[in-house]
Structure 1
Amino acid sequence: MALLDVRNLSIDIETAQGKIRIIEKVSLTIIEGSIHGLVGESGSGKSFIAKAILGLHNPNWTVTADRMFLGSTDLTKLSPSERRKIMGKQIATIFQQPRSYLNPSKKIFSQIKEVLPKKRLVDKLFNKFKKIKDQSTEKIVKDLLHKVGIQNDKTVGASYPHELSEGDCQKVMIAMAIANNPSLIIADEPTTAMEAVTQAQIFRLLYKLNQLHNTTILLLSNSFGSISNLSDYMTLIYCGQTVESGNYQQIMESPMHPYTEAMIKTILAFDGNIIHKSKLYTLPGSIPSANQLPIGCRLGPRCPRAQRVCVTYPDVLIFKGHVVRCHFPKLSD
């Protein structure tokens, strides 16, 4: 069953040079209880998609979609106040650069306490008539910090964000995200600028949340290799256009789109077959700027299979579970 169903999402931004379509007909189907990876180079529009789902629109944005459902709720028909009631309860967000999203003037304990649901506090703290075991706010915060792998909860709770490492700040954000037991967590490049050990800890924590609590996770990343083994399903995006979607095994074993093939080739396999001082694979060219996007298929100028017809936008092709937008997909037997 699809927890989040987005069809033909487009985002137009008003600029000094005129209106630019930064996201074009993006579709996402997130299965309940799965980890879905949204992969693309920096500047491909992943954060724009996340903000559109969350309702964090700038005034100069024009967001349109044929369908944007969270379960049975039509997100496009909700008012801003109704959308805010869903945020944090049904959908939670883990931002990149977590220290910049935490309040620098408040200690961690106070910030986690603010996001705790009032009903949970009433039930846990004050409901003596139903003989519910008394549990202090400190115990609730402690349990959340322990759940995300922070053992020195007293030290972290009494600290300001600038006194913590980037990894600990990210774990605090995850603790705040899961405080309301949301159905969907959107993790926007949660390991940016972190060392490899901390990255592994964050990814292991997200995987644990998914397995133990059946939490659905939309994981945004610009590194195909880092999240490929973690994801049940994957969607690849280039310059605001989705190019291919499918489950992990399908994508890795039989990629159909040239961009997908290129991303897989960038994964290093340390099995002794890499020639010393050999060049790493890169797709020719560079990602275009937002005000110079190619017409039709935006990969066209860099695509090894490009032909004249690629100046028109390709239709959706569904083949053996793959959803691909390409005029010349690689169809396996």
Structure 2
Amino acid sequence: MALLDVRNLSIDILTAQGKVRVIDKASLNILHGSIHCLIGESGSGKSLIAKAILGLHNENWIVTADRMFLGNIDLNKLSIRERRKIMGKDIAIIFQNPRSYLDPSKKIFEQMREVLPAVESSKPWFKNVSLRSPHRKTIKELLHKVGIQNDNAVVNSYPHQLSEGICQKVMIAMAIANNPRLLIADEPTTSMEAVTQSQIFRLLFKLNQLHNMTILLLSNNLGIVSNLSDHISLIYCGQTVESGTYKQITNSPMHPYTQAMIKTILKFDENVAHKSQLYTLPGGLPPANQLPIGCRLGPRCPKAQRTCVTNPEAVNYKGHIIRCHFPTLEEK
């Protein structure tokens, strides 16, 4: 059963030069209790999709979608106030730069206390007053759950007094405080050392396995997150170019962009010559207002032909969705 069903999501941004389409008919189908990875280079539109799902877009955004359901909730029909009610309870997000989203003027304890649910007083004269229950024990348990042992020092600190890894763990604790049905992790290990990255990914995997929490993981590194995922979608220049299960994507990739991403993964069991050149896809990601005609990968694609000047449609091959004129159809 799909917990999040997004079909043909498009985002247009109004700029001084006119309307620019940054997301073009992107689709996501995330099953309940799964880890779904959205992979793409920086600037491909992953964070824009996450913000559109959460309703965190600006007034100059024009967001349209044929379908955007969270369970049986139609997100397209919700007002801003109704969206806020499901934030934290049904859906939560971990941003990639935690210090940018934590309040620098408040200690961690105060910020974590704000996200915890309010309870009504049991006393008759306070029936209509919403009070905060004693939170210190709850906050301590949340910090221990995300791997923070020195909780007393952390809760009495300001964000700038903590490391990037600790701030990220605090943000994860705040995101899971209300046990959301869907957790969106937007590149949660950006600019972190390898040990901290491994800890955070193990934590997300544990949340999924022990609490059956559905996770949408956004990343630009297929090699790091692929082993965690049940399903993988690849996005390029605002379009989902390939989507399928972990085995379908890793064992039989059909799109040239997916094949290029897999080639960039380092395999230490192979003999690689010293100082040899690593594989990279030629060219770079074009700006949103200078996209090529037709297939957006065309100028960088090794299989590009004349037909690629027309925009390819998404085709479903037994659950393996591909957007390419010349996919690699191999049975393995």
The TM-score, its normalising length taken from structure 2, stands at 0.95
1:10 paired residue number: 10
2:128 paired residue number: none
1:275 paired residue number: 273
Number of aligned residue pairs: give it: 323
Aligned-residue identity in percent: 74
Matches within 5 A, 1:20-31: 20-31=20-31
Tell me the alpha carbon deviations over residues 279-303 of structure 1, each in whole angstroms, 9 at most, x when there is no partner.
Answer: 1001111110111111221001100
In structure 1, distance between residues paired with 2:198 and 2:9: 32
2:78 is the counterpart of 1:67: no
User: How far is 1:122 from its partner?
Assistant: 5.7
Q: Structure 2: where are the runs of 5+ without partners?
A: 125-132
2:189 is the counterpart of 1:195: no
Letter in 2 for 1:44: S
2:41 paired residue number: 41
Letter in 2 for 1:155: A
Letter in 1 for 2:110: S
CA RMSD between the two structures: 1.5
In structure 1, distance between residues paired with 2:146 and 2:223: 24
Q: Structure 1: where are the runs of 5+ without partners?
A: 127-134
2:82 paired residue number: 82
2:218 paired residue number: 220
2:130 paired residue number: none
Matches within 5 A, 1:1-333: 1-119=1-119, 136-333=134-331
1:130 paired residue number: none
User: How far is 1:271 from its partner?
Assistant: 1.1
- Shifted more, 269-278 versus 220-229: the winner is 269-278
Letter in 2 for 1:16: A
In structure 1, distance between residues paired with 2:18 and 2:258: 32
Q: CA 1:313 to 1:83, structure 2 compared with 1: closer, same or farther past 3 Å?
A: same
In structure 2, distance between residues paired with 1:34 and 1:272: 31
In structure 1, distance between residues paired with 2:134 and 2:83: 30
In structure 2, distance between residues paired with 1:261 and 1:150: 38
SS at match of 2:19: strand
SS at match of 2:228: coil
The TM-score, its normalising length taken from structure 1, stands at 0.95
Letter in 2 for 1:251: I
Letter in 2 for 1:304: P
User: How far is 1:318 from its partner?
Assistant: 1.2
